[in-house]
Amino acid sequence: MDWLTEFPELGRRDLRDFRKGIDEGFKSFTREYGESIENFFDPLLQFLIWLERLLLATPWPLFILIVAGLGWLASRNIKIVIGSALSLFLIGYLGMWEDTMSTVSIIIVCTMLCIGLGLPIGILMSRSNRAQAIVTPILDVMQTIPSFVYLIPVVMLLGIGKVPGLISVVIYALPPMIRLTNLGIRLVDREVLEAADAFGASPWQKLIQVQIPLALPNIFAGVNQTIMMSLAMVVIASMIGVTGLGQPVLKAISNQYLAMGLLNGLAIVALAIIFDRISQSYGKRLQNYRGGQDE
Amino acid sequence: METKIEIKNLYKIFGDDPQSMMEKVRAGVTKDELNDQYNHVLGLSDINLKMPAKGIQVVMGLSGSGKSTLIRHINRLIEPTTGEVWIDGENVLAMNEKQLRNFRRNRASMVFQKFALLPHRTVMENTIYGLEIQGMPEKDAKKQAAHWIDRVGLSGYEENYPGQLSGGMQQRVGLARALATDADILLMDEAFSALDPLIRTDMQNILLDLQKELHKTIVFITHDLEEALRIGDQIAVLRDGEVIQQGTPQQIVLKPKDDYIADFTKDINRGRVIQLKTIMHEPNDKPGPELSGDMLVEDAAQLVTESPSSQARVTNKAGEVVGVVGINDLIRAMARPDLESRL
């Protein structure tokens, strides 16, 4: 009855060869294509560096003013405006301004990438059940696989630096954007779509004039989630060379600097709250027209 | 009367394999058998209808009778299992995607039971929707839309969102949106059924007033017989996916084809349906007011009562006296259910 208590596992040597095969295969792939892939991402790197420099070169009062102004435009809520300006001022006062600018720049680029990728993929998913069946499990993997696991191939391929960091953040933060775009479009009232058909709308007209506008609140919830998740990835991304608020946190962990860790951590929280309140209140304002509806 | 829309031998079967079920239906399988044994639903069965140009064709039936399915075949929002739909001598089912889109943009517009307005657009933006799809420049579209917003009595509400309006007002927007495209066919799917009775009457009046000058071909779906009799030039009664009677409102009320329709019509205010020319006698020499043969019994009653001779002289379209109606005829018409002999 040995076979009941002993699991029929692959032999030790076979297992080693199996792993080695995968490792060697990926390594030779890296040697072959690593450089061209790096070149492919070069414009992204240049843009990221340019944005970071721009933010750092912006006089701090101007930056705070811009954020406050955006806050006002999006929310029309003076509490959010004052809260944002005050917390940004405090972050700078406590010596974290430069790291904050790095983090903000990577969040901006990451959010732009996620919208650029997530919107079309989400639209595709909403239009075809087959696409949905294929993409959904991929999203599940992206969201549940421990981030350290996909850091390995990314680092093997691209080394340590901003771009691999950005890619790992995008992998983590992209799924909600796709899911909520898909959901938003699928939730559009069927009767309204039938009316669009009855008036002879082409598929493109239907998408632009009806489906996307009506899905916008959900799409905006996706943008909001994407921003929140990319902020959450900042510390992990700093392990592979992304500058910003994550690096001092990492340093604080290895040296047991409590205050340093706490301050930088709270700065990330403050950024998260600013981004969240501004994007969420904008998303809500998009739905104002629903205000007086009976249903 | 000229025919605008003709539906021929139209069948619609819902289910996984409608085509092979079609053979069974042709071989005589009934709706219930199809449902119980084959798990398919016979939505419409051998529909043949000729709808008059520039008139209001009402399709009446209770829920589940297939009336909403039928109207969606006219602009092909639903594809039939077999059959033909001819409009102006053109087969709608032979159109390719582009032709069909052009047909829907320019020749047939639709009003929906639950309004189906775009909630993120204002009244003005909703009204220009069809014109926008046609590709009309915004400035012209707005001008045209403003005219129709005014005609349905919504001037001043252009910048409101549908969510801020009452149901009746929302359906006015739906009507303005449909009229704005200038299509000569108007499909109305239970357009007034979701409205309160008073507002419904209001909307019926708006529609009838507009129709007096627009002369569109209107297909109007309803489950309400009063409404059908009030606005229909022609009525088709649908039950279980089959047309069981077609005719003018008078024919439906006076000559119900079976007990089902008779049951429907027995509570109807007949005075509001029957016209003087239906019940008039040979003319005599007695005086009396001259009334049009198209006048309804109910409208004539007051005038005849006030006339000293207790009778009215009935005229034809040319204004010649062709008969007389006495007060007793009017009372009998309103009270008695069988007047078949007079038709």
Q: Are residues B217 and B333 in the same domain?
A: no
Q: What is the predicted pLDDT for the residue at B26?
A: 86
Q: For residue A212, what is the nearest residue in chain B, using CA coordinates?
A: B120
Do the beta carbons of residue A177 and residue A279 sit within 8 Å? no
Which residue stretches of B163-296 are H helix? 167-180, 197-214, 225-231, 249-254, 259-265, 276-279
Q: How far apart are CA B152 and CA B140, in angstroms?
A: 19
Per-residue pLDDT, B342: 47
The answer to whether position B155 is within a domain reads: no
**Residues ≥6 apart with Cβ < 8 Å to A11:** none
**C-beta atoms of A189 and B116 within 8 A:** yes
Q: Which two tokens stand for residue A261?
A: 């860790």
Over residues B163-167, mean pLDDT = 91
Please tell me the predicted confidence (pLDDT) of residue A160.
87
Within-domain flag for B329:
yes
Question: Is a pLDDT exceeding 50 seen at residue B326?
Answer: yes
Kindly give the pairing relationship between strand B321-326 and strand B311-315.
antiparallel
Contact A199 B109 (CB under 8 A): yes
**B117 vs A contacts (CB less than 8 Å):** 192, 195
Write the Ramachandran bin of A216: left for phi over 0, alpha for psi from -120 to 50, otherwise beta: alpha
The predicted-structure confidence for A49-94, as pLDDT tens digits, reads as follows: 999 999 999 999 999 999 999 999 988 889 999 999 999 999 999 9
Both B264 and B282 in one domain: the answer is no
- Look at residue B222 in the predicted model and tell me its pLDDT: 94
B99 and B243 fall within a common domain? yes
Confidence of residue B341 (pLDDT cuts 50, 70, 90): very low
Retrieve residue A28's tokens: 């030779």
Q: Strands of chain B (E only): list them.
A: 3-14, 41-52, 56-60, 82-87, 90-91, 108-111, 185-189, 217-222, 234-239, 242-247, 290-292, 311-315, 321-326
Q: What pLDDT score was predicted for residue A295?
A: 35
- B112/A contact by beta carbon, under 8 A: yes
B284 shares a domain with B215: no
Q: A294 pLDDT exceeds 70? A: no
pLDDT for B2 beyond 90: no
Q: What pLDDT band is residue B279 in, cutting at 50, 70 and 90?
A: confident
Torsion, Cα of A68, A70, A76, A78 (10° steps): -10
Closest alpha carbon within chain B to A294 = B163
Is residue B48 a part of any domain in this protein? no
Q: Which of B101, B103, B116 sits opposite A191 (nearest CB)?
A: B116
| B260/B191 same-domain check | yes
Considering only CB atoms, which chain A residues are within 8 Å of B118? 192, 195, 209-210, 213-214
- pLDDT tens-digit map of A134-186: 999 999 999 888 888 888 888 888 888 888 899 999 999 999 999 999 999 99
CATH of the domain at B299: 3.10.580.10
Instruction: Write down which residue in B236, B268, B300 finishes a domain.
Output: B268
pLDDT digits (tens, 9 = 90+) for B108-162: 999 999 999 999 999 999 999 999 999 999 999 999 999 999 999 999 999 999 9
The residue-averaged pLDDT of B317-325 equals 85
pLDDT of A287 above 80: no
> CA angle, A243 as apex, A237 and A249 as ends, to 5°?
70
Tell whether the torsion through CA atoms of A18, A24, A30 and A33 is positive or negative.
Answer: negative
B102 and B188: one domain?
yes
Asked if A289 and B110 come within 8 Å (Cβ–Cβ), the reply is no
Cβ-in-10-Å burial (0-12, 13-18, 19+) of A15 comes to exposed
Residue B257 shares a structural domain with residue B192: yes
- The packing angle between helices B197-214 and B167-180, to 10°, is 20
The DSSP symbol for A209 reads I
Asked if A194 lies within 8 A of B104 by C-beta distance, the reply is no
Pairing of strands B217-222, B234-239: unpaired
Closest C-alpha to B161, from A61, A4, A64, A293:
A293
In this structure, the answer to whether residues B79 and B208 fall within a common structural domain is yes
Whether residue B323 sits in one domain with residue B301: yes
Q: End of a domain among B220, B243, B268?
A: B268
Q: What is the mean pLDDT of chain B?
A: 89
Last residue of a domain, one of B248, B268, B288: B268
User: Which residues does A123 contact at the CB level (< 8 Å), separation at least 6?
Assistant: A181, A182, A185, A207, A212
Whether residue A281 is predicted with pLDDT greater than 90 in this model: the reply is no
pLDDT average, residue stretch B259-263: 84
Instruction: Sort strands B234-239 and B311-315 into parallel, antiparallel or unpaired.
Output: unpaired
CATH number at residue B88: 3.40.50.300
Q: For residue A295, what is the DSSP state?
A: -
pLDDT, position A292: 44
For chain B, what is the radius of gyration of the CA atoms?
A: 23
Q: Based on the fold, state whether residues B277 and B212 are members of the same structural domain.
A: no
B96, part of any domain: yes
Domains, chain A, with CATH or none: 12-289 (1.10.3720.10)
What is the model's pTM? 0.83
Structurally, chain B folds into a number of domains equal to: 2
Q: Are residues B87 and B228 in the same domain?
A: yes
Predicted ipTM of the assembly: 0.84
Residue A191 and residue A246: Cα distance in Å, rounded? 49
Q: Please give the residue of chain A at the shortest CA–CA distance from B130.
A: A199
Distance from CA of A193 to the nearest CA of B (A): 8
B10 phi/psi in degrees, rounded to 5: -85, 130
- Asked, for residue B4, whether it belongs to a domain, the answer is no
Range of the structural domain that residue B254 is part of: 53-107+183-268
**Burial profile B186-214: b = 16 or more Cβ within 10 angstroms, e = fewer:** bbbbbbbebbeeebbebbbebbeebbeee
Short-list A168, A280, A291, CA closest to A219: A280
* Contact between B155 and B149 (Cβ < 8 Å): yes
Whether B102 and B236 share a structural domain: yes
